[in-house]
């Protein structure tokens, strides 16, 4: 536990949103208890900790739950400012810019990515992929602008934008396998393609990024289950 603080993470493998929180906790050097959740049979603990969305991740800090991965990552920085790497810049404007791009990752990148493998028709999947590639191109520009030639969105060290996108890396690589096309393409978005490799080499990332082959198998199973359920209806 972190200096007398009790941190409990409710999660499920291989949720990219849980990975974000694990990345943030690892980067801050905070220890925590991981309580795995069965999303098909939600625990009383999860239902009472996140009564609105009933989703993981939830971080329970000294008995008080915090929900939504991006909110949790920012909370971790604000609750433990002196520990490990700073995940938000000190300057208020830089901080606002980092929050903007972390929100962009959720609003545009994640929203487009979901239908690339969960889309009910080939058209839905193709539209998701088109919008995902547009978001990737925009993020390439953002990386160029806000990193100012440094290795990460946060500059020399990672920040909330790196964590928001970094948590998605294994799933994006799995999606490349499933869709048969590159998403972080070294030819089209060279900065992001290099960023992915650099981020994945961080100790905190190596510890928690789910194995890509495992994610591919997990996703195939879920896709098959969804298809079977749809044909039964
Ligand atoms: N926007 C949420 C997304 C969390 C989310 O979608 N969690 C999924 C697992 S990856 C979940 O708990 N699903 C259970 C459900 O929808 O009932 C976040 O960033 O925390």
3-state secondary structure of 34: strand
Ligand 1: which atom is nearest the Cα of residue 42? 17
Class of domain 92-216: mainly alpha
- Measured by CA distance, the residue closest to atom 10 of ligand 1 is 15
pTM of the model: 0.97
CA of 150 to the centre of ligand 1 (A): 32
* pLDDT tens digits along 6-58: 999 999 999 999 999 999 999 999 999 999 999 999 999 999 999 999 999 99
Q: Is the peptide bond before 14 cis (omega within 30 degrees of 0)?
A: yes
CA of 55 to the centre of ligand 1 (A): 5
Could you check whether 7-79 and 92-216 share the same CATH topology? no
**CATH of span 7-79:** 3.40.30.10
Q: Which stretches of the chain are DSSP H helices?
A: 16-27, 44-49, 69-79, 92-104, 111-118, 122-147, 160-166, 169-179, 190-200, 203-208, 212-232
Tokens of 5: 């603080």
Residue ranges per structural domain of the chain: 7-79, 92-216
Q: What is the DSSP letter of 155?
A: B
* pLDDT tens digits along 80-108: 999 999 999 999 999 999 999 999 999 99
CA of 53 to the centre of ligand 1 (A): 8
């Amino acid at each position: 536990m972190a200096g007398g603080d009790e941190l409990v993470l409710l999660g499920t493998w291989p949720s990219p949103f849980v990975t974000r929180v694990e990345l943030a906790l690892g980067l801050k050097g905070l220890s925590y208890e991981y309580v795995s959740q069965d999303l098909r049979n939600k625990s009383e603990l999860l239902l009472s900790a996140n009564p609105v969305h009933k989703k993981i991740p939830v971080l329970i800090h000294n008995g008080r739950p915090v929900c939504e991965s991006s909110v949790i990552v920012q909370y971790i920085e604000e609750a433990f400012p002196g520990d490990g790497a700073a995940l938000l810049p000190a300057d208020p404007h830089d901080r606002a810019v980092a929050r903007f791009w972390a929100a962009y990752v959720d609003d545009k990148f994640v929203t487009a990515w979901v239908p690339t493998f969960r889309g009910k028709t080939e058209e839905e999947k193709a539209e998701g992929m088109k919008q995902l590639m547009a978001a990737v191109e925009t993020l390439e520009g953002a990386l160029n602008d806000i990193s100012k030639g440094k290795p990460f969105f946060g500059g020399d060290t990672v920040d909330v934008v790196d964590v928001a996108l970094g948590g998605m890396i294994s799933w994006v690589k799995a999606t490349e396998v499933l869709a048969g096309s590159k998403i972080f393409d070294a030819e089209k978005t060279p900065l992001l393609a290099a960023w992915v490799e650099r981020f994945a080499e961080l100790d905190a990332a190596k510890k928690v990024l789910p194995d890509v082959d495992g994610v591919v198998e997990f996703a195939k199973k879920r896709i098959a289950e969804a298809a079977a359920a749809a044909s039964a209806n």
